[in-house]
Amino acid sequence: MRTSNSNHFQELQISESNAAARKIERAGARVARNIDLVKTSNSFDDIVVPTLEFFVDFNREHADQELPPSELNHTGEPRALHCAAEFAEHPSQGQLEFCLKPGMNATEYKSLLKRVRAEALNGVEDALHQNEVDVIMAPADSRRVSVASAAGCPVAKVALGFARLNGRAHGLNVIARPRDERALLRIMMAWEHPFPEAFAPPPAMIGSST
């Protein structure tokens, strides 16, 4: 079976990223590999999940077994989540029902945004601290940049070159702590010396007239 172009490009990114890490390491920098910003599990990849409405209705129909006492109000009915302040206190049925709501007000949005930012920032800070590094580098298509953006961390991109397959540019995202753009600028300024090939013109431009 032939591998798709996207898989080829992904393999190229991983290979070039690992090669860049080895080159940086030989230059004297400390390199920590396989850093996870958010702990995830692949145990449920093959499970087909029903609709959210299915879970809400199922829990209500089997409240005596599925909903703990904290999820029931004084009438014995399942609680519904009415505001973001209850999000952490009643995270099960209330959280599901909250997701079914057509929208949220500004207060709820700010509360949830604050929670997401705190979780993401903790992941970045823990990764930097535990691995004793100043920045995190990942392939440009990596989801780590989404976590960094949610955390409010500055992100820069450094070039690795162009794919022979289709001439597509590829490189690494560099993630630093919030308000530490100085670390990114230092890396970007020093990048050209060990990676001169990354600054060559695109293959499509070679041989073209200017």
Backbone angles phi, psi at 12, to 5 degrees: -60, -45
The model's pLDDT over 36-58, given as tens digits with 9 standing for 90+, comes to 766 544 544 555 667 888 888 88
Asked whether 17 and 172 are in contact (CB, 8 A), the reply is yes
- Residues in a beta bridge with 138: 173
Work out the average pLDDT over 147-174.
Answer: 86
The model's pLDDT over 92-106, given as tens digits with 9 standing for 90+, comes to 677 777 778 777 788
Q: What is the pTM of this model?
A: 0.58
In this structure, the number of other CB atoms found within 10 A of the CB of residue 18 comes to 12
DSSP string computed for 169-206: EEEEEEE--TT-HHHHHHHHHHTTTT-GGGGSPPGGGT
